[in-house]
Structure formats: structure tokens, C-alpha cells
Amino acid sequence: MATLKLPVTPEDHIQGDEHSPAILVEYGDYECPHCGRAYRIIQRVQKHFGKRLGFVFRNFPLKEMHPNAEAAAEAAEFAAAQARFWEMHDGIFEHQETLSLPLLLELAETVGLSVNDLEGALTCGEYAPRVKSDFIGGARSGVNGTPTFFINGHRHDGPFEFEDLVAAIDARLLQ
């Protein structure tokens, strides 16, 4: 079974407490339709477990298949630098069917970020190293598609339906 090679740190994007008894890490691609479906499922899983679950999102853009995934990941990192990661993350997934540069700029404005600064950051690749670092960490951990989940450092190789994730997290909580 594959394990998470890069442990969760304060530099990660985490919802909930990083010291929760269960930590769910997703390597995701903002343009991947499976990640879009997983987004809604994860929201339900988080609600189900409450404070017992921390959720981490790491970038794994599959640029060859999803031409907007890299820009979306960089836009989310731009937002993170201004404490708006989750607003941008959610906005991208909630409008995934129209993912494009104009959408990213619109979302930036919606969450109170400078559109001009985002354009500049995307043009010069300011946040590309962070996205690449997530990607390399995922590859080292055996990620080869999206979404890929790790529960308390162990890769979840089963389905990611609500019931399956709840059962897998419950099993990790009992260990």
C-alpha cells in the first residue's frame, strides 16, 4: 500500500485541525470531472466527521489532459498567499464546467483579490513552483491520477463514494 511521502505541515491548505484524529489528503486537479464530483462528496464527509477530520488539498494538475488545470492551481495558490485559498478552491470547483482564464479572474474579483495581480502572477508563473512541489510530492507518493486520497498517510485505493470514504476513515480511526 502506498503511503504519503510528504507529511502534512502548516504550509498545507487544511480545513479543520491539522491534529485531528483523521486527516484526509486529496491530490486533485481543478479541471478533472472526477475531482469535481469528489468535491461535493468531501463536503459531505467533512460534515459527517466534524472536528474529527482535517482535510488537505494538494495540487496535481494533469496539464496534458486538462489545459486549464495548471492556471487554476496557480490561481488557487495566488489566493492562498492572501488567505483566500478555500474561497478560490470552492469557486473553481463550483464553476468547473466553465473553467477558463476569464473565470479565474472573475473569481479573484469575487473573493476580493486584485485581478491585475492575478494576471501578473499567472503570466510570470509566480506560483508554479508551489504547484510543481505538490505535484512532485504526489508522484513520489504514488499518485498517478486524480483524485487520489490518503487517510492518515495511507493511500485509499477504493472508491471515493461517500459511504466508502466514511468506512475507510472510520477504519483508520479505529487503528
Domain with residue 76: its CATH number is 3.40.30.10
Confidence at 174, pLDDT banded by 50, 70, 90: confident
Number of domains in the chain: 1
Binned at pLDDT 50, 70 and 90, residue 144 comes out as very high
Q: Which residues of 52-90 are buried (b: 16+ CB within 10 A; e: fewer)?
A: ebbbbbbbbbbeeebebbbbbbbbbbbbbebebbbbbbe
Residue 129 is assigned to a structural domain of this protein: yes
pLDDT band at 114 (very low <50, low <70, confident <90, very high): very high
The model carries a pTM of 0.96
Q: pLDDT band at residue 175, thresholds of 50, 70 and 90? A: confident
Task: Establish if 56 belongs to a structural domain.
Answer: yes
Q: Which of 61-65, 84-88, 106-110, 171-175 has the lowest mean pLDDT?
A: 171-175
Domain limits at 47? 13-174
Confidence of residue 14 (pLDDT cuts 50, 70, 90): very high
